[in-house]
Structure 1
């Protein structure tokens, strides 16, 4: 079957619309079948956006045990929101209920504190998958092509364990529509790779599916229903589709060329610093970091970002793949903080 996305399809920044403002570091955005969007909140919590654009924030109750930085988020089958904590020194996977109570789901592995953690999802079999980008301290020591010490882990009936290691800055993961592959973005190694998914949550050998250059730093990863992988790149602020035949298609680009050239040079030299990633230059996309398909027939694509306070959207010519959380609902309770 041929892939139905027109190879000439592309968007301009002016084709995007803003669906919600008043957010804080909405790095990860999820869409549910009832029209709700869920976004990570950099102030230690999450934000809900209803179908009318109304925003409500749920933050961890104070005093919290420590400072948290929610990065990737997931909706658990019980309605709680899970987040991967991208902390300064330690990470973990945590749950927040509607009252702002926080619970550790996994904060250590093999007797050691879990390093700062990047992404989390709960699949259709209720297995929890998570990623750790690097074991380096500080994390900026892994912002180059030389370090590959990130990993993918799983929590299931057998317990918590690492199922793939030696990954170059592990970021978002996503299952292919046929369920046979687990794809992963290797952000600062500038690759998209995949592993065959075998019984018992066992992963096969890694296969590199795409490589990037310049300032393309693959962050968000989402499949459409026909097998195309939609990849958001921070740094370059580009949205790229990895077509099933292996060809790459740029769908959206809002790149500050001078900034991107400097970023690419520092990446090659191993000299990237925190200050370099605190800006997107003059790009208006604010380092797009995730994409979620939602709306009727999952043809609306929502873009999360690192450096802006909003979620932008556009209409997609192809529908998104229904994620495992599509029919789940965030457990609600009155009293959330309104934007």
Structure 2
């Protein structure tokens, strides 16, 4: 039996979109009923119902809203909901890249701060949150530098992975190069972590108590691109995005990398950014000059739909959510078969 992604490419003309006037739909959660929940830079999430209607649910305790109007400051100041996950009861866990904390929001907006320090120090740029089958919360922190754009450097490697259980929050792995999204395999035997500025995906073995060991690279040692989001399909292919150079890829179980969609096409802007990064001379202007037309600064992939074959593309600079049909279903997220609030 062949791999379903063999020979598969995403036809840009086949893409549909859902959602309007969104702000920074970086991370998207899907539910079996067809609902989508998208992180939103206005401080909360947008609930997009199966019929396409949508509502912004703002956090009632969100602070630090920015009045910035230019892109460079808008991406680095104020509240900035980033990675999302469902708590077991259906509440929404928000890793806030602006307030530097993990927050919990009810579907009606009431919010609280779960964690903003670790080992007595500020937690840093909380990027992503993932819940496992034991109800433990896994967090990624990209950097402890306040302005994350300054951490887009080959020489700043201060990211880490933390885990919260009944004993509190503790660091499980550090020395990561701008930690971004993380995912478990189907049996939670391995944890896969994006090192955005390391341009690679790192894999750890997961012990019963959550300890991580056996650190190794999964797939290419260097994608020559900044990786952002990842998601497994049911065939153990790991899908992902190259942010700023706007590509969708998949890594087969044997480590073979396939580019499924390229919205950059080797642009001069993308090449200039990668050249500057190698010289540790990245500027916001170089970053903001990059990006394609489909979902500007592709950031994440979410499998959804009743058959888990609809793939939704999150982005940092888009205002809608493009989606397409995959040749294989996604690996169900931990919440998929849990009872959640409506």
| TM-score between both structures, scaled by the size of structure 2 | 0.91
Give the C-alpha shift of residue 329 in structure 1: 6.5
State the structure with bigger RCO (CA 8 A, min sep 6), 1 or 2. Answer: 1
Are 1:133 and 1:168, in contact at CA under 8 Å, matched by a contact in 2? yes
Secondary structure at the aligned position of 1:125 is classed as coil
Give the Cα–Cα distance (whole angstroms) in 1 for the partners of residues 264 and 64 of structure 2: 40
Aligned to 1:30: 29
Aligned to 2:180: 171
Aligned to 2:169: 160
Return the match for 1:265 from 271, 275, 291: 275
Return the match for 1:287 from 292, 297, 307: 297
Secondary structure at the aligned position of 1:286 is classed as coil
- Equivalences for 1:1-339 in 2 at 5 Å? 4-61=3-60, 64=63, 67-87=78-98, 91-209=100-218, 210-214=220-224, 216-255=225-264, 257-328=267-338, 331=341
Give the Cα–Cα distance (whole angstroms) in 2 for the partners of residues 283 and 197 of structure 1: 38
- Comparing 162-171 with 18-27, greater Cα deviation is found at 18-27
- Structure 1 gap ranges (5+): 333-339
Are 2:269 and 2:289, in contact at CA under 8 Å, matched by a contact in 1? no
Q: Encode CA deviations 1:165-224: one digit per residue, 9 max, x unaligned.
A: 00010000000123210001100110111000111111113101133344x211001000
| TM-score between both structures, scaled by the size of structure 1 | 0.91
Give the Cα–Cα distance (whole angstroms) in 2 for the partners of residues 92 and 143 of structure 1: 21
Structure 1 pair 199–282 and aligned structure 2 pair: CA distance change class (3 A): closer
Are 2:131 and 2:334, in contact at CA under 8 Å, matched by a contact in 1? yes
Are 2:180 and 2:196, in contact at CA under 8 Å, matched by a contact in 1? yes
Are 2:249 and 2:259, in contact at CA under 8 Å, matched by a contact in 1? yes
Aligned length: 328
Give the Cα–Cα distance (whole angstroms) in 2 for the partners of residues 221 and 117 of structure 1: 17
- Structure 2 gap ranges (5+): 66-77
Structure 1 pair 288–3 and aligned structure 2 pair: CA distance change class (3 A): farther
- Comparing 136-145 with 190-199, greater Cα deviation is found at 136-145
